[in-house]
Every structure is written in C-alpha cells, then in structure tokens.
Amino acid sequence: MRNLQLSWFACVLCALLGLSACEGSSFRNSVPAYPVRVVVDTRSGAFVHFQPTNLNANVVVNRNGYFLNGEYVLPLGATDMYGYGGVVLFVSLYGYDAYDLACPYCALHGQKQSCTIDGFYAECDKCGEKYDLGSGYALPTQGLSHEALRRLNIINSDGKLTVTQQ
C-alpha cells in the first residue's frame, strides 16, 4: 500500500512540475514576424518550371521583386509582402519549403541581415552562418546560430503557391 501511495505522489509531483516547466517556455524566434504574402503560380508564366521535381530550384522575393534561381522575373505587386529579410521558396526532397531570409544570428545581435542563396544553402554574408535548405528545416551548419531560418506557411492550391506568416 505504501508503494502505491508513493507512486501516486510521484505521478502528481511530476505532473505539477511538468505543467510549471511549460509556463513561459515558448520559443521566441530572433527574427521578428513581419507580414508575408507571396504568390507563385507554377501553372503559368516564368514559374512553369518551378515544380517539386526540380530539386534545389528557388524563388527569392525581396524589395527588388521576384527572382527565379537568381534571375529577375517579376516586380513586386501591390499586395506582396516579403517578411523581415525577404522570402525564399525552395524545392527540397520534401517538396516546397518557405523561409524568411533574415539571419537569426544577426537578428539576435540587433542587426538586420538577409541571407543569399548558394545552392543548397542560405548564407549570411555578415556572420558567415550557412542554413541548409535541402534538409527541409533550414538548420544552421556553422555552429554560430542556434536557430533555423524562420519557417513560413505555404498553401498549395493546384500549383498556385501562397506563402504567409505561420
């Protein structure tokens, strides 16, 4: 009977500690959440080859417009919003991924710095951190940053990709 009481007490104590540990422990990304609205229609125009089978293809959207694999293709529209450091849509093994291109390490230190795309990686020219876009998570590879790039939400409606803040 005594063992049963101790087990019950241990369970209650663990539950209370678990609940208190959750309080205030929500993750806060170093990159501020700025408005994002990017639309890429893969059914027509310049984006017809931006398909899930075209691994490592990317679309970058920033204040200068839309860039497909580094080549300028479209100006910004009146309703386009590109987050804090620009947006990248990337085709990985897992399908379409989207991230804010602001470097979390630099943002943590009070600097706004956008990453550039180099193959599988988003690279920060200021701190040198590289984020692996091919992983499906944009994880840091150099060990400076302890955060991945800020992930964005993608809605795929029959090839029309709409990227928004999560």
Beta carbons within 8 Å of 16's beta carbon, 6+ residues apart: none
User: Does 24 reside within a domain?
Assistant: no
- Residue pair 105/42 in contact by the 8 Å Cβ criterion: no
CATH number at residue 70: 2.102.10.10
pLDDT, tens digit, 9 for 90 and up, residues 25-71 = 455 789 999 999 999 999 999 999 999 999 999 999 999 999 999 99
- Residue pair 122/115 in contact by the 8 Å Cβ criterion: yes
- Residue pair 138/148 in contact by the 8 Å Cβ criterion: yes
Parallel, antiparallel or unpaired: strands 95-100 and 87-92: antiparallel
User: Does 19 reside within a domain?
Assistant: no
User: Does 85 reside within a domain?
Assistant: yes
Count structural domains, the chain.
1
How many beta carbons lie within 10 A of that of residue 107, not counting itself?
21
> What pTM did the predictor assign?
0.83
pLDDT, tens digit, 9 for 90 and up, residues 95-120 = 999 999 999 999 999 999 999 999 99
Residue 93 structural domain: 29-164
User: Does 21 reside within a domain?
Assistant: no
Average pLDDT rounded to a whole number, residues 70-84:
97
Beta carbons within 8 Å of 104's beta carbon, 6+ residues apart: 29, 30, 31, 140, 145, 147, 148, 149, 150
Averaged pLDDT score across all residues of the chain: 87
CA dist., res. 47 & res. 119, Å (int): 18
User: Does 53 reside within a domain?
Assistant: yes
Give CA separation, 49 vs 6, 54, 63, in Å: 64, 7, 23
